[in-house]
Structure formats: C-alpha cells, structure tokens
C-alpha cells in the first residue's frame, strides 16, 4: 500500500507492506538509523519518535501505514540550522549518555515532554521517561540533562501542567 508521511520536514511517498512497522520503515526505507530497536514487547523505548510535533510514540508499536498523513520527527530532525537542540547539548554537557543506544529515544521522549511541560520537576521527568530503559547511566544524568535543557529553553517558565 502507498503512504505519505512527513519525516523531519520532508514528505515521503512510499509503497509499504501493511505489516511494516514504523521503526523499520524509518530505518530501512528511509535510512534513518538513529531510531533503534531493543526489544519485542514495546518495553525499552529506544524506538521512540515524535508524532505530529508533540506525541512521543514507540515506532515499534505502530505500523508505517498508521503514520499515513502524519508528521514524524526523529532524532535526525533535532539539529536545526546546524545547531544542536538544547536537549542534545544538555545530554552532552551532563554526561547523559554512555553507549548511546537509548539516547535517541530518550531525546525524543524528553522533546515531547518539554512540549507539554516546559519546566518539569524531577518526579515529572522520571515519570515521563519511565517507558525508556537505559542500562548504562542510572538515569540520574539524563534527568539532569532534561532539567538543563528545560531551563535553557524556557525562561521565563510557565507553571508546570499536571499529568
């Protein structure tokens, strides 16, 4: 079947099998290998991408066909005008990554979080990241990085929105 998907601002029209998962469409049809695969049960979150600008979704749990007519942002879409996104910069500054395998998913989940809660406190960040596993960092520096990015992006910060 034919689908039209906007990925990182570019419109793609492609033939896909109905059963093709969004993650394999991104990785194999479009060559966007920053989005990873780490489990078979929607548990690990290394495949998270952002749907329609502000929704973190696990791309292993969506068919490519479900993205027809939608807008997808992947980790490759975070750099704007050659400049790192504040989240990318903060993950680097705060040692928020080690092996780097969970990092794209962490960045995209955090990106969606900051769209909804521009100034989240630590419990809110930990809650938002609960669907993203990391085996290296113990999460502490990831939380710190999200806080740094929020502080940089949102001054003056509005009141946090309750979840």
One of 40, 80, 156, 162 touching other proteins (CB under 8 A): 40
How far apart are CB 72 and other proteins at their closest, in Å? Answer: 13
How far apart are CB 92 and other proteins at their closest, in Å? Answer: 5
Quote the Cα angle for 51-157-161, to 5°.
Answer: 55
Q: How many Å apart are CA 105 and CA 107, to the nearest integer?
A: 5
Residue 2 touching other proteins (CB under 8 A):
no
Residue 42 burial (CB count, 10 A): 11
Residue 152 touching other proteins (CB under 8 A):
no
| Pairing mode, strands 10-15 and 48-51 | unpaired
Considering beta carbons, is residue 103 or 117 the nearer one to other proteins? Answer: 103
Residue 129 touching other proteins (CB under 8 A):
yes
Considering beta carbons, is residue 67 or 125 the nearer one to other proteins? Answer: 125
Residue 125 touching other proteins (CB under 8 A):
yes
Q: What is the DSSP code string of 25-68? A: IIIIIS--TTS----SSS-S-TTEEEETTTEEEETTSSBGGGGT
Considering beta carbons, is residue 37 or 66 the nearer one to other proteins? Answer: 37
How far apart are CB 157 and other proteins at their closest, in Å? Answer: 21
Backbone CA torsion sign across 75, 85, 134, 41: negative
Q: Which of 139, 148, 130 is nearest to 85 (CA)?
A: 148
**What residues line the site for other proteins (CB under 8 A)?**
17, 19, 24, 27-28, 32-41, 43-44, 46, 74-76, 78-79, 84, 88, 91-93, 95, 97-104, 107, 125-127, 129-143
């Amino acid at each position: 079947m034919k689908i039209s998907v906007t990925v990182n601002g570019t419109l793609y029209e492609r033939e896909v099998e109905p059963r093709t998962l969004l993650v394999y469409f991104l990785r194999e049809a479009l060559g966007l290998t920053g989005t990873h695969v780490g489990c078979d049960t929607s548990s690990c979150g290394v495949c998270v991408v952002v749907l329609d600008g502000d929704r973190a979704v696990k791309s292993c749990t969506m068919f490519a066909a479900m993205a027809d007519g939608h807008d997808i942002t992947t980790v490759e879409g975070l750099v704007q005008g050659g400049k790192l996104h504040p989240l990318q910069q903060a993950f680097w500054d705060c040692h928020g990554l080690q092996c780097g395998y969970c990092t794209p998913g962490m960045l995209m989940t955090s990106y969606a979080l900051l769209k909804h809660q521009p100034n989240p406190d630590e419990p809110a960040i930990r809650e938002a990241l609960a669907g993203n596993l990391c085996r290296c960092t113990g999460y502490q520096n990831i939380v710190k990085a999200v806080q740094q990015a929020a502080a940089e992006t949102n001054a003056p910060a509005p009141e946090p929105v309750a979840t």
